Amino acid sequence: MLSDEYIAGFFDGEGSVGIDAYGKVRVSIAQKRPEILYMIQEQYNGYVYSKHHPVFEGYMLNFLGKKDCQKILTAIFPYLVVKRDEVEIALKAVELIKDHHRGCDPLSYNELKERHKLRDKLQTLRPKKTFVTLESLNQIYRNRIKQEFVMKCNVCGKDLSTVRIRDQVISQDKLWCRACVASFYKKDRKPISKQQMENAIASSDNMWEVCDKLGIGRSALYQKRKKYGLEIQFNKKDRKPITKQQIIDAINATNTIKEAQKMLGICSETMWHKRKKFGLLGAQVS
């Protein structure tokens, strides 16, 4: 058994913490030979893998998820000398990790911003040349959408390559001219009763179909659900335990993945994760 003092010293030399552009926290220790990594793993979980890279050939011990990151960092923090400041920031970032998986529930812009604040701090302590800021991440996204729509409005096809940037509106992963986006959101303001909402939601588990039925956009659907207290209870249903056999049975009973997830009462994202977990992706279930 290794002492926390020893692991801290080891981490000061070979460990690192990072927050990536998407807000994901990474805690890792690199080493040419895996023995010590396996010993640390025995005490603090994480997983060891071999890495073959031009600049590093050896083994990595990675910690993922709130519980594991918190456990190792809290244990070694009192004894750290070199990487104390970095780990202090990482501990704050780890605190922000959600307790459940985020498949159906990606980070909001504000949550991402909060993580980027810590990431910026880390960057001042340990500058990285290939640092992507939240602004540039946003820019990459905007450029991708513009490229995808070849600088043309997705509704009227107007060429937007010569208009001002503020008139190149990006919304719902599409490129719009001002006039089209304004008329698109106009329909979102039409009054819909709670009963109408409930009927539409009950008719399909596909969000886009519900939108079409009501004749509103995705964000309007979200707002109206919130208003009537009809929000999707993602976390609760995602956490319900489902066995491999239940998934196989549901797929066999319904013949399509979509019907099966409906039967199990989970969304497509969760279905994908569960199929991945049980090795049922792509495989013909019989």
- In the complex, the residues that contact Zn ion under the rule CB under 5 A are 153, 155-156, 158, 177, 180
Query: In this complex, which beta carbon is closest to Zn ion, that of residue 134 or of residue 179?
Result: 179
Tell the smallest beta-carbon distance from residue 212 to Zn ion (Å).
20
Tell the smallest beta-carbon distance from residue 109 to Zn ion (Å).
25
Q: How far is CA 195 from CA 70, 190, 199, 200, 249, in A?
A: 45, 15, 6, 9, 34
Tell the smallest beta-carbon distance from residue 149 to Zn ion (Å).
11
Tell the smallest beta-carbon distance from residue 218 to Zn ion (Å).
19
Query: In this complex, which beta carbon is closest to Zn ion, that of residue 153 or of residue 214?
Result: 153
Query: In this complex, which beta carbon is closest to Zn ion, that of residue 172 or of residue 223?
Result: 172
Tell the smallest beta-carbon distance from residue 168 to Zn ion (Å).
11
**DSSP string of the chain?**
---HHHHHHHHHHHEEEEE-TTS-EEEEEEESSSHHHHHHHHHH--EEEEEE-SS-EEEEEEE-SHHHHHHHHHHHGGG-SSSHHHHHHHHHHHHTS-SS--TTSPPPHHHHHHHHHHHHHHHHHS--TTPPPHHHHHHHHHHHHHHHTTTB-TTT--B-SSS-GGGSEEETTEEE-HHHHHHHHHGGGS---HHHHHHHHHH-S-HHHHHHHHT--HHHHHHHHHHTT----HHHHHHS---HHHHHHHHHHHSSHHHHHHHHT--HHHHHHHHHHTT-SSPPP-
Tell the smallest beta-carbon distance from residue 139 to Zn ion (Å).
22
Query: In this complex, which beta carbon is closest to Zn ion, that of residue 163 or of residue 192?
Result: 163
Query: In this complex, which beta carbon is closest to Zn ion, that of residue 66 or of residue 174?
Result: 174
Tell the smallest beta-carbon distance from residue 198 to Zn ion (Å).
34
Query: In this complex, which beta carbon is closest to Zn ion, that of residue 153 or of residue 220?
Result: 153
Query: In this complex, which beta carbon is closest to Zn ion, that of residue 66 or of residue 158?
Result: 158
